[in-house]
Amino acid sequence: MAKWPDDDVILYDGVCIFCSRWVRFVARRDTAKRFRFTPIQSEYGAKLARTFGIDPDDPDTNAVVHGGEVFLKSDAALMVLSQLPGWAWVRVLFAVPKPLRDPVYSLIARNRYRIFGKYDSCFVPDADLRTRVME
């Protein structure tokens, strides 16, 4: 899989309410402000998505670039959580095989708009979070 020059970048669906809440959840707990965020609807986010085989018009996963590698689906969520203060314990969940983790992730991803709702336009973060958004 291709490398990406920027590190600790989280790609998310900017119109998905659940995904936007995930971004706020991570940002509040990321006291070192290591993670940056890019909505898939932005030019930068769409380019990142295409590089890693994600359809920007119909995303089925979020992604995170960490340590020069891309992580998708449940690996992405676990990688991000494991880097947050007080959340290192989630690393044990990597022991659960991907064939068990990813179907649960995919089920939620496929139904995220129906379950959680959808914004009419891309989520606009507050001023503090805005400085960490890459577009």
pLDDT tens across the length of the chain (135 residues)? 555 668 899 999 999 999 999 999 999 999 999 999 999 999 999 999 999 899 998 888 889 999 888 999 999 999 999 999 999 999 999 999 999 999 999 999 999 989 999 888 777 777 788 888 888
Cα 126–chain centre separation: 18
Distance (Å, whole) CA 101 – CA 55: 21
Distance (Å, whole) CA 76 – CA 13: 14
| Cut 0.85: pTM above it | yes
Residue with structure tokens 């690393």?
91
What's the one-letter identity of residue 32? Answer: A
Q: Where are the domains of the chain?
A: 9-121
